[in-house]
Chains A and B, each alone.
Chain A
Amino acid sequence: MKNTLKQVFHSSKFLVGFIIFLAILLTMFIYPLVNPGNPLQMIGVGTFAKPGTYVSLYDATKTSTETLRLPDADEKRLAKLLTNEDRVAMVEWFTAMQISVEGLDISDTDAMIDLWKANYDPAVKPKGMTQAKRNYYKRLNNSIAEIGAAETLIITEKNEETGELEEQGKITKTDYVNTNAVANVKRLPLGTDNFGRDVLKELISAAGTSLLIGLLAGAVATLVGLTLGLLSGYVGGFVDDIIMFITNIFTVIPGFVLLILISYSIGQEQRGATVVALVIGLTSWTWTTRSVRSQVISLRNRDHVNLSKLSGHSLFRIILTDILPYIASYVVMAFILQVSSGILAEAQLSLLGLGPRTTEVPTLGLMMNWAMLYSAHTNGSWWAYFPVILTITLISFSLNLMNTGLDQVFNPTLRD
């Protein structure tokens, strides 16, 4: 046993897979400790907030400031304000007004603004320009004017009694607050989803649920497959015929279809994560049965099995002590594969709208389903679906890598 384990961990493929899997597992356990709370809590009101650090504007204005004189502060302000589209639009204006733009670099904010200030006139109506477009230029002009103007912003509060605005403080361009001093700062490394939920937190919780679904489905499938395979292979005869008949039928009828039919019939209300896992397990045992059976058949006439039979050991004991140890490595490998295909099956089922009911736990498939329903893929919210795809891929990649490693250890002909 010890030797086998040593051999297994010497396989580089197994090791890489194991490390990836372990890293995912550790994240699942550690992250909720660092960042506790309900993963389904809707913290954002809008949909798909971008990834980043969110600082409470209210708290920031109340926080004591430090003065920093950064030489490029104004430049950055301008750059943030003038988007690339604005710059292109400005060049369009120049060309419409027949102003030479030769040698003008649109990333050179200062030059752009100088030229703009020198030439823009809201009263001019270039030929063929729509009213909407002209209004856009007016707004653009206003915001450009604003950057140059106010050196200070004044914070006012409304006096309850008189209704007058009273000055509370000033913010100058050189005022900075330390984010550590601001009372409310929220880091959303993966933004929020369509319901305004923290994607990272949800993802880690979902990966856990999906893995549990995979484990349960894999355990059920392996158990059923193993039992049927052992019975069929060892007992043989009539039992074998019946089991193989059923197995052959279910090998050809796609498990995916059965899964859809059963899930649909169960109905949304009864469909919890556990039920979905059980159903997946019960529709994917055929592979294990077939392979276990063929291995048992090659084992059952070996000398040590015959010896056990002659000694009058019970069927149960022979299977447990003389057959199982020989196919254990195979069963472990089959189990690993079942886990990864179980996770995939849940995801596909959820994408069809037949996954676990949506209110209790997030799963990877449900996250994917929500992201697609709210067309995250067409509106550029990559953080809502790409991490999910990557997580599914990484989990199943690591499991399959471990499986390939095991395969090479136990089947010497495949070794490199």
Chain B
Amino acid sequence: MKGYRKYFGKKIVWFLITLVAAVILNFVLPRLMPADPVSAITGKMAQGMTDASAVQEIYKRYEAEFGTDKPMITQFFIFVKNLFRGDLGTSFSQYPRRVSDIISSAIGWTIALQLPAILVGWLLGNLLGALAAYIRKGFDKVLLPVSLFLSNVPAFGMAVTLLVLFAVNWKIAPIGGGYAFDMIPNFSWSFIKSVISHYQLPFWSIVLVSVGGQAIGMRSMSIYELNADYVKYARFLGIKDRKIVGYVFRNAMLPQVTGLALSIGTMIGGALVAEIIFSYPGLGSTMYSAVTAADYPLISATTLIITFMVLVVTFLLDIIYGFIDPRVKAAQFDA
């Protein structure tokens, strides 16, 4: 177990380091800019106000709210302390709702949508890519250009196309939202049915976009492995084709897991934008409304929570990788 412990220990340390870096960046970046965020916000709030002392008062209130009247380093510790308590401040645009409330009502939707969608896209893509590499000939000739084209359709583009086709033209799917607008979330059958029907278009738009890229990656990895010396050697030894194919795809899968870990951030980013198109009540739409309303605390919180999600997923993928990669296993026996 010692090898594993070392591997996981290293991964955990990296997870913590990146987490700290992410928190620092999230804190520092907006404050590095020449413009004073508080005065920008005050400017927006005080539009049309003529009383200078009232504007001054607003400025002071926001200064106190953000604590920008204190030195930077104190501000950072207050920020971190509040983070640990789950306190992300108060939303401007949905005052007096707490940012943490808004986030916690949105995050479930995003996870429920994106995690299965990206996983299904990844699995389907790998399956198709492996098939293309193994069969070659006609299937490959069709699949490769189609995958290449699909993987280049931006997620929001796929979202709009599906929305227009299925919801606007053929009217077989709802136009947007997470559930019918006349419903109140509960555990009734009709509500669940509504959620499922609203789930389809966002789900498939993410799946379709991610299938292409994964298929291409898997295809070239599999072709690479199929031409490797060990395959030829195994063939000479007379090992059954089925068994060889099993080895080959196992080996080709490994880089695909790493690839998923490395691209998960980009994929989530694209999928978040796709959420906006469907007005899906997840983090993407939350971020969009925060940006349009210049709701600074909400933007900062959504970016932080998205980063956190990506870090956790990457960490989990690293852990899974540790279990399936024979090299990490070998390290375990060495120790």
Contact = CB atoms under 8 A, between A and B. Distances in A.
Interface of A: 248-249, 251-258, 260-262, 264-267, 270, 287, 340-341, 344, 347-348, 351-354, 368, 372, 377-378, 380, 382, 385-386, 389, 392-393, 396-397, 400-401, 404, 407, 413-414
B224 A414 contact: yes
B163 interface: yes
A256 B288 contact: no
Given A413-B224, A413-B227, A253 B310 contact: yes
Interface in B205-253: 216, 220, 223-224, 227
A253 B14 CA distance: 12
Nearest to B176: A378
B265 A253 contact: yes
Contacts, number: 140
Given A256-B265, A377-B168, 12 more contacts: A252-B14, A253-B21, A254-B268, A254-B306, A254-B307, A257-B303, A260-B291, A264-B291, A348-B156, A352-B287, A352-B288, A389-B154
Given A252-B265, A353-B288, A377-B168, A393 B18 contact: no
Place the interface of chain B in its size category. 35 or more
Nearest to A364: B154
Contacts of A249: 17-18, 21
A378 B177 CA distance: 14
B266 interface: yes
10 contacts: A254-B268, A255-B269, A256-B265, A261-B29, A352-B273, A353-B291, A353-B292, A382-B164, A389-B157, A396-B152
Contact of A254 (B224, B300, B310): B310
A253 B35 contact: no
B262 A256 contact: no
B153 interface: yes
B269 A348 contact: yes
A267 B175 contact: no
B40 interface: yes
Nearest to A260: B303
Nearest to A389: B157
Contact of A378 (B26, B153, B168, B307): B168
B257 interface: no
Nearest to B305: A257
Given A253-B21, A258-B29, A267-B35, A348 B273 contact: yes
B130 interface: no
A248 B318 CA distance: 13
B154 A348 contact: yes
B152 A389 contact: no
Contacts of A400: 148, 151-152
A7 B164 CA distance: 43
A175 to B, nearest CB: 38
A262 B156 CA distance: 22
Given A265-B32, A353-B292, A413-B227, A368 B307 contact: no
B153 A393 contact: yes
B277 interface: yes
A257 to B, nearest CB: 5
B157 A264 contact: no
A357 B277 CA distance: 21
Contact of B33 (A251, A266, A354): A266
Contact of B14 (A248, A256, A287): A248
B270 A348 contact: yes
A159 to B, nearest CB: 51
A252 B314 contact: yes
Interface in B111-167: 148-149, 151-154, 156-157, 160-161, 163-164
Interface in B164-200: 164, 168, 175
A141 B219 CA distance: 64
A380 B171 CA distance: 13
Contacts of B168: 377-378, 380
Nearest to A287: B262
Nearest to A255: B265
Nearest to A348: B273
B319 interface: no
A354 B287 CA distance: 11
Contacts of A260: 287, 291, 299, 303
A252 B152 CA distance: 22
